[in-house]
């Protein structure tokens, strides 16, 4: 299955910002009120994330949602 470009961009940006903060997937999950396995599946491009969860992740990372899909 071909990965959609926007999903790949989102996944890469989430991982990059998470790692810049020195956080594990579990830490990001706790801060965004999501499950750790869900964060992992996002970073592996296995999820088509809802806008509400994009916002939760962006808030946890201290950025705007649009920055995660650029």
Q: Quick one: residue 62, left, alpha or beta (phi over 0 = left, psi -120 to 50 = alpha)? A: left
- The answer to whether residue 2 scores a pLDDT higher than 80 is no
Q: Quick one: residue 64, left, alpha or beta (phi over 0 = left, psi -120 to 50 = alpha)? A: beta
Q: What is the pTM of this model?
A: 0.92
pLDDT digits (tens, 9 = 90+) for 25-50: 999 999 999 999 999 999 999 999 99
CATH architecture of 5-68: Orthogonal Bundle (1.10)
Q: Which residues contact 65 (CB under 8 A, 6 or more apart)?
A: 51, 54, 55, 58
Domains in the chain: boundaries:
5-68
Specify the pLDDT at position 35.
97
Q: Is residue 1 packed enough to be buried (19+ CB in 10 Å), middle (13-18) or exposed (0-12)? A: exposed
pLDDT digits (tens, 9 = 90+) for 47-65: 999 999 999 999 999 999 9
Specify the pLDDT at position 53.
98
Q: Could you say which DSSP state residue 45 is in?
A: T
């Amino acid at each position: 299955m071909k990965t959609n470009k926007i999903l790949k961009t989102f996944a890469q940006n989430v991982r990059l910002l998470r790692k810049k903060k020195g956080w594990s997937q579990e830490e990001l999950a706790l801060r965004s009120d999501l499950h750790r396995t869900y964060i992992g599946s996002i970073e592996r491009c296995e999820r088509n994330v809802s806008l509400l969860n994009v916002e939760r992740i962006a808030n946890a990372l201290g950025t705007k949602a649009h920055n995660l899909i650029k």
